[in-house]
């Protein structure tokens, strides 16, 4: 019973992490049909930005809540700038090329940004654990849970709910749904698709940096953290169905729980259980769990 | 075009083989790695012509390398030809099996699913103590039909072997490109449904291409394993695959020769750049890739093709 509860909580925390990193990726793919490898860099920038923010607030001796707020604000600001520069400066030039070619473009940008991170923050690793310690622990039965983890799950849940609401009930969300459904028809009805693309990419980038920022206290921030994230996020998105936020949520939950189960019972397979689940799902549902039926175009 | 290109290629290979003893050993070993990797790039070109970019080709590369390393560790087998054959067959067999899943996908899904496959292998290699875990392990010194060289002689022998295999692969693959299955690559990329209306299964074609490219990657990995005398899980990591894709895009899929020239140039530029600008190597890589895609979408090889057309157009 205790193990089951531990697996459930571990799985939920990991699922929250996966959802936070996957949601920006799936949003950009859904709207723009771009698989954004740069998303890994967004995550890394967010984490490094958070480390800098934590450094600043430790120096100034601000209250803990302000430090956490500063972390979030700085990370999303970085995401805003990065997203704007990338979309306007690079991606605009390659719209209309093959999807695979655009993946390579984002891969090229990813390579560049990896070194930019080294140039800005240097090769040493950072810690930003203060907010996590400040949040403290809570005992639930025999288990000790970190309040920060509970906060993480809440953030992910709020984000999922907000995403659902924004897409369904706001004006911008409805425009987005139209563009996702058919870009050309949307443009013909007078929707400014160029602006929708820019805004979507910026939001996706901000979600990426936000994911990095809230995860920063839980990890050691070092070179190469972006590399792992992009592959993980892709696996989650592929399981759920690319471009679907609900799919990202389901994918994150499945992968999170499977991994937590693996960690408790067969720790050796922890690293590849995610990809095994992905291969298994795709063998039966070739385009993920939540997909729209696509007509064959001749 | 065909026979003249073959003659030119054969002369280039011969010149390299003759010049090898006079070259410094570091250059020979660099060229050995470059040509071993060129085989992987050649495999990527086969798929790229059909519009497919596998982001996980390192899977087969690592299988080839680990096959020879494991043979050396657990059996008495030392002959280089047998060991490479085992590496190639293992890689091909794995490709045949996962091909049933992979060949159903196109574009991004193909790219990323192959990536996931290679990450599974990476995960297994990192976690398995008997396979050397993160450190990997040593590759035994091979023998060449009972000839057992050491030191510089070993480097030369490996280089000649790599050259020979590359020449053979270049001939075979350019013949494949001229065959019906090879020529159909472009129609598969442009419009798959029309290919099916011809009564040919695009999925089967892609399955075949996948196995071919995997065999090439397996041989390349086996040769690289011998050349470095060490294997580690990094060989299966997705950044390794990314490097192969990078060379493919840079060289262009126009010809078989592009794979070899591209791979050689890449290794040389890398060894220079890492010396001079160690912190900004990836910036250079990324910028080069970006500029190539923006301005030379057919790869560097297309520059020569364009020059040739221009020269021919200028003739009276």
With contact defined as beta carbons under 8 Å apart, do B62 and B216 qualify?
no
Alpha-carbon span A81 to B69, nearest angstrom? 48
**Chain mean position to CA B295:** 25
C-alpha distances in Å from residue A76, one per residue of A14, A204, A243: 22, 10, 22
The CB density around residue A267, as the number of other CB atoms within 10 Å, is 10
Which residue in chain A has the smallest CA separation from B100? A283
Residue of A nearest to B111 (CA): A100
**Chain A residues lying within 8 Å of B107, measured CB to CB:** 98-100
In a domain, A292, yes or no: no
Task: Identify the pLDDT of residue B211.
Answer: 92
Classify residue A294: in a domain, yes or no: no
Higher pLDDT, B211 or B124: B211
User: How far, in Å, are A94, A104, B9, B146 from residue B293 at the CA level?
Assistant: 9, 8, 27, 48
CB contact under 8 A, A101 and B293: yes
Interface test with B, best of A96, A98, A111, A120 (most B CBs within 10 A): A111
Domain of A264 in residue numbering reads as 2-284
pLDDT digits (tens, 9 = 90+) for A82-92: 889 888 888 88
Q: Is B148 helix (H, G, I), strand (E, B) or coil?
A: coil
Give the separation between CA A47 and CA A221, rounded to whole angstroms: 7
What is the percentage of chain A residues whose pLDDT exceeds 70?
95
Lowest model confidence (mean pLDDT) among A248-257, A261-270, B24-33, B34-43? A261-270
Q: How far is CA B75 from CA B58, B71, B233, in A?
A: 25, 5, 21
**Residue among A89, A98, A115 with most chain B CBs within 10 A, to mutate:** A115
Q: Which residue has the higher pLDDT, A17 or A268?
A: A17
**How much is the ipTM here?**
0.79
Q: Which residue has the higher pLDDT, B296 or A22?
A: A22
**pLDDT tens-digit map of A177-210:** 888 887 888 888 888 888 888 888 999 899 999 8
In this structure, is residue A211 part of a structural domain? Answer: yes
Distance CA A67, CA B141 (A): 58
CATH of the domain at A100: 1.10.3470
Q: Which residue of B has its CA nearest to A116?
A: B283
Is the pLDDT at B46 greater than 60? The verdict is yes
- Residue A109 contacts B where some CB pair is shorter than 8 Å: yes
pLDDT digits (tens, 9 = 90+) for B243-285: 888 888 888 777 788 888 888 888 888 888 778 777 777 788 8
Average pLDDT over residues A99-111: 85
**Across B306-314, average pLDDT:** 70
Question: What average pLDDT does range B171-176 have in this prediction?
Answer: 84
pLDDT band at B1 (very low <50, low <70, confident <90, very high): very low
| Model pLDDT, residue B218 | 92
- To the nearest whole number, what is the mean pLDDT of chain B? 82
DSSP per-residue string spanning chain A: -HHHHHHHHHHHHHHHHHHHHHHHHHHHHHHH----TTHHHHHHHHHHHHHHHHHHHHHHT--HHHHHHHHHHHHHHHHHHHHHHHIIIIIHHHTTS-HHHHHHHHHHHHHHHHHHHHHHH-SS-B---HHHHHH-EEEETTEEEEHHHHHHHHHHHHHHHHHHHHHHHSHHHHHHHHHHH-HHHHHHTT--HHHHHHHHHHHHHHHHHHHHHHHGGGS-B-TTHHHHHHHHHHHHHHHH-TT-HHHHHHHHHHHHHHHHHHHHH-GGGHHHHHHHHHHHHHHHSTT-SS-PPPPPP-
Pick the more confident residue, A179 or B219: B219
- Residue A298: band (very low, low, confident or very high) from pLDDT cuts 50, 70, 90: low
Name the β-bridge partners of B147: B144
Residues 6+ apart with CB under 8 A from A220: A125, A126, A127
Tokens of B105: 């996908």
Q: Which of residues 242-281 of B touch A (CB under 8 A)?
A: 242, 245, 249, 279-281
Residue A298 lies in a domain: no
CB pairs under 8 A between A and B: 120
> Looking at chain A from residue 233 to 252, which residues have their Cβ under 8 Å from any Cβ of chain B?
234-235, 238, 242
CA dist., res. A202 & res. A85, Å (int): 9
**Do A258 and A274 meet the contact criterion of CB atoms below 8 Å apart?**
yes
**Alpha carbon B205 to its chain's center:** 20
Q: Tell me the three state secondary structure of residue B14.
A: helix
How do residues B55-100 score in pLDDT, each as one tens digit? 888 999 999 999 888 888 888 777 888 888 888 999 999 999 888 8
What is the reported pLDDT for B215?
Answer: 93
Least confident window among A63-72, B69-78, B198-207, B267-276: A63-72
Among B104, B108, B130, B195, pick the best mutation site for testing chain A contact (most A Cβ within 10 A): B108
The whole-number pLDDT of residue B61 equals 92
User: Which two structure tokens, joined as six digits, stand for B233?
Assistant: 């899980």
**pLDDT tier for residue B217 given thresholds of 50, 70 and 90:** very high
The per-residue pLDDT for range A229-246, each reduced to its tens digit, is 888 888 888 888 877 888
| Residues B185, B50 contacting (CB under 8 angstroms) | yes
- Residue-level pLDDT at B28: 82
* CA dist., res. A298 & res. A292, Å (int): 18
List the domain boundaries for chain B. 2-16+25-237
For tokens 């063998």, name the residue.
A283
CB contact under 8 A, B242 and A107: yes
Q: What's the number of domains chain A is made of?
A: 1
CA distance linking residue A274 with residue A270, whole number of Å: 8
Average pLDDT, chain A: 82
Residue A64 in this model has a pLDDT that exceeds 80: no
* Band of residue A292 on the pLDDT scale cut at 50, 70, 90: low
């Amino acid at each position: 019973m205790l193990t089951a509860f531990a697996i459930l909580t571990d799985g939920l925390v990991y699922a929250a992490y996966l959802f936070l990193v996957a949601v920006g990726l799936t949003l950009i793919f859904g709207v723009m049909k771009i698989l954004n490898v740069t998303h890994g860099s967004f995550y890394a920038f967010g984490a490094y930005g958070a480390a800098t923010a934590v450094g600043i607030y430790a120096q100034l001796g601000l209250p803990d809540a302000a430090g956490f707020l500063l972390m979030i604000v700085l990370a999303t600001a970085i995401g805003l700038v990065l997203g704007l520069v990338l979309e306007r400066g690079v991606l605009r030039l390659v719209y209309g090329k093959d999807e695979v070619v655009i993946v390579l473009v984002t891969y090229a940008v990813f390579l560049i940004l990896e070194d930019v991170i080294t140039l800005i923050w240097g090769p040493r690793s950072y810690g930003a654990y203060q907010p996590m310690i400040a949040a403290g622990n809570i005992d639930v039965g025999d288990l000790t849970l970190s309040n920060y983890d509970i906060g993480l799950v809440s953030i992910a849940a709020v984000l999922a709910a907000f995403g659902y609401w924004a897409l369904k009930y706001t004006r911008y969300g409805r425009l987005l749904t139209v563009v996702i459904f058919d870009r050309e028809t949307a443009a013909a009805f007078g929707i400014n698709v160029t602006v929708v693309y820019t805004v979507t990419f910026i939001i996706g980038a901000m979600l990426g940096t936000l994911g990095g920022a809230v995860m920063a206290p839980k990890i050691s921030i070092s070179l190469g953290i972006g590399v792992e994230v992009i592959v993980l996020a892709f696996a989650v998105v592929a399981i759920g169905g690319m471009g679907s936020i609900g799919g990202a949520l389901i994918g994150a939950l499945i992968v999170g729980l499977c991994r937590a189960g693996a960690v408790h019972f067969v720790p050796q397979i922890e690293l590849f259980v995610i990809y095994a689940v992905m291969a298994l799902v795709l063998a039966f549902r070739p385009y993920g769990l939540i997909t729209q039926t696509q007509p064959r175009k001749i | 075009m065909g026979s003249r290109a073959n003659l030119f290629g054969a002369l280039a290979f011969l010149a390299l083989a003759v010049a090898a003893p006079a070259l410094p050993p570091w250059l020979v070993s660099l060229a050995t790695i470059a040509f071993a990797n060129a085989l992987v790039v050649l495999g990527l070109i086969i798929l790229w012509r059909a519009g497919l970019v596998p982001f996980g080709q390192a899977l087969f590369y690592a299988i080839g390398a680990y096959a020879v390393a494991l043979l050396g560790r657990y059996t008495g087998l030392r002959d280089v030809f047998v060991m490479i054959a085992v590496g190639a067959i293992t890689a091909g067999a794995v490709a045949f099996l996962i091909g049933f899943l992979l060949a159903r996908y196109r574009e991004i899904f193909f790219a990323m699913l192959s990536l996931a496959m290679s990450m599974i292998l990476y995960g297994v290699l990192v976690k398995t103590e008997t396979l050397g875990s993160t450190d990997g392990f040593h590759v035994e010194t091979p023998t060449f039909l009972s000839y057992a060289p050491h030191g510089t002689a070993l480097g030369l022998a490996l280089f000649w072997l790599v050259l020979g295999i590359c020449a053979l692969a270049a001939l075979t693959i350019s013949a494949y490109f001229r065959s019906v299955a090879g020529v159909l690559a472009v129609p598969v990329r442009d419009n798959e449904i029309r290919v099916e209306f011809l009564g040919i299964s695009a999925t089967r074609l892609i399955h075949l291409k996948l196995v071919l490219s995997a065999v090439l990657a397996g041989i390349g990995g086996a040769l690289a394993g011998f050349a470095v005398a060490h294997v580690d899980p990094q060989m299966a990591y997705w950044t390794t695959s990314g490097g192969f894709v990078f060379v493919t895009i840079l060289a262009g899929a126009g010809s078989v020769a592009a794979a070899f020239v591209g791979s050689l140039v890449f290794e040389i530029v890398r060894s220079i750049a890492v010396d001079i600008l160690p912190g900004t190597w990836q910036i250079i890589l990324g910028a080069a890739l970006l500029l190539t895609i923006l301005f030379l979408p057919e790869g560097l090889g297309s520059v020569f093709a364009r020059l040739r057309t221009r020269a021919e157009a200028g003739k009276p």
